[in-house]
Amino acid sequence: MGLNCACSRKSGSKDICTPTGDSGKDDLGTDGSKKETARVLWSRPVEFILSLIGYAVGLGNIWRFPYITMENGGGAFLVPYIIFMLFCGIPFCYMEFTLGQFTGLSPVKAFEFAPLFKGKYFPHNLATTLLRITQSVCFVGLGWAMLIASSVLCIYYNIVMAWVFYYLGMSFRWNLPWKSCNNSWNTPACFSYSEVVVYVTAPLPYVFLTVLVIRGITLPGSSIGLEFYLKPKWEKLLDFTIWTRAAVQVFYSLGPAWGGLITMSSYNHYNRKFNRDAVLLPLICGGTGIFGGLAVFSITGHMAYQMGIKDVGALMRNGPGLAFIAYPEALAQIPGAPIWTVLFFAMLITLGIDTQFATLETMTSGLMDLFPTTIGKHKILFTFLTCFVEFLLGLILVTRAGGYYFQVFDWYATPTSIIIIATLEVIVISYIYGAKKMFTNAETMLGPRTRFMRYFWVTLWYLVTPAFTVFIFITMLINYAPPMFTNGEPFPDWTSVFGWCLASTSIIPIPATALVEIYRNRHSLKNLLKPKPEWIMATAVRYESSKKQDVPLEDGLSEKVTGSGSI
């Protein structure tokens, strides 16, 4: 990404690096304390929104969305999905953009705020003080939880990308292997149970999707699949499991509570007008998933028509492999199929890597914020080591039982941990830090908002979004069920133990960090009620430096650039 830098010095004070760039080095202030490395920023407004689309629109929308929709009643699933995208997706985006841009920090450091409650609603007594301390230290670990959740996602996301690489290689044949049924791996009904990712993050993929949709709806029998997809079975809405899966899909595809949105917004200029992005991103994300579903279900209807199956739901046993079957099937129906197939899977690889960049940046930037003088000086080496470790951890998913391990990862790592993290995040920001205070922070960067907009966003953060997330969390616990084989039998009991251990890896940091903070401040528990000095310094420096920008550009950016320039 193109990023810029500028630094200045105040008389008799330490160096202050403005949020327009990167000093390129770690240094010490005049008092001998460590000076934070200035954060590099997006050099153009369009880079931020394109990076957001590249991060959010893709794997969750085109590969995961179709089979989750099919498994949960088809058109009925779209109703809770749209509701959660509007009342959870948009508020979470606005909230995380505010936090990231206001602090200029990664999730690991951005949650190091601790409000000192005042006023008639918080009487000063021992019980209240202990409650404040417990609340204050618990949310510091949220950043660590997001970092670990992103690292777990990278493990099995790499495997999906490996499938795409395989299919790209197989596409360099004029006679595509999936066009015939005489392969050794074909099932008796000529279906494959493998899986593939279809990743859509930039304008070019929409061209491919449009081609697939047009071709799909013109195939015989496509109406069977489209009817299943677009005609809701309203009785399905009484099943709370569908609502849970819809909420999980929103968090999986859009990316809140993973840390990526906070990380990327932390590279914004302080005065960037992100309010439009917070609304635009969920609409693009949700719209892409629904549009991609037209291609998948029209082609699935055609496949059911060829097999003489009237119930499209009978094909849902293919699970994660549904999109893998549908997209190659559509490409095989287009003249010059091998060329289209090569271009399509090559595009998926580049877009998948784009998401990996953003997810990996969440991990590396968090650790570099914690250790700027060690990791920060060796970013390339540290990034390589991180990728290598993720590669080794993913080897378990390419064993003979790798498909089942993958299902366990997808069943436990995503729904359980992310819903818990999201629930805690919205409670922490809305009730502990304060929804009104968070909106005031947004106004500091965006300028004054109307009274209606203040009430609108504060109401969403304070009432609507927490109610939705708590409802989903409780429903998820009540309706828990282990993953199933295609014949309906549950996975062995040990896989449930493994899955819950996997989910807990991103939850344990929250209480663990709380205990560490209490131990560190055991001689002065009042410190637990105050923001950490680094958090105060980061927000103060970004605010002061924003006032030094002389030439305002569109979206509040500055043309004044000195120092290292673009990198």
How is residue 17 written in tokens? 């690096």
The residue count for the chain? 567
- First CA to last CA across the chain, in angstroms? 8
56 belongs to an annotated ligand binding site: yes
Check whether 54 is labelled as a binding-site residue: yes
Is 221 a known ligand-binding residue? no
| Measured distance CA(173)–CA(179) in Å, rounded | 11
Phi, psi for 27 (deg, rounded to 5): -145, 180
Helix or strand run (H / E) with residue 154: helix 142-170
Q: Which residues contact 29 (CB under 8 A, 6 or more apart)?
A: 14, 15, 35
Burial class (CB in 10 A: 0-12, 13-18, 19+), 121: exposed
CA distance 170 to 178: 9
What's the rounded Cα separation, in Å, for the pair 301 and 312? Answer: 6
Distance between CA atoms of residues 427 and 424, nearest Å: 5
550 labelled binding-site residue? no
Q: Is 435 annotated as a binding-site member?
A: no
Backbone angles phi, psi at 19, to 5 degrees: -80, 30
61 is in an annotated binding site: yes
CA distance 496 to 501: 8
In order, the DSSP letters of 173-185 are SSS-GGG-S-STT
Task: Find, among 419, 420, 416, 423, the residue nearest to 503 by Cα.
Answer: 416
Can you say which residues are annotated as belonging to the binding site?
54, 56-57, 61, 253, 351, 354
Can you say which residues are annotated as belonging to the binding site for Na(+)?
54, 56-57, 61, 253, 351, 354
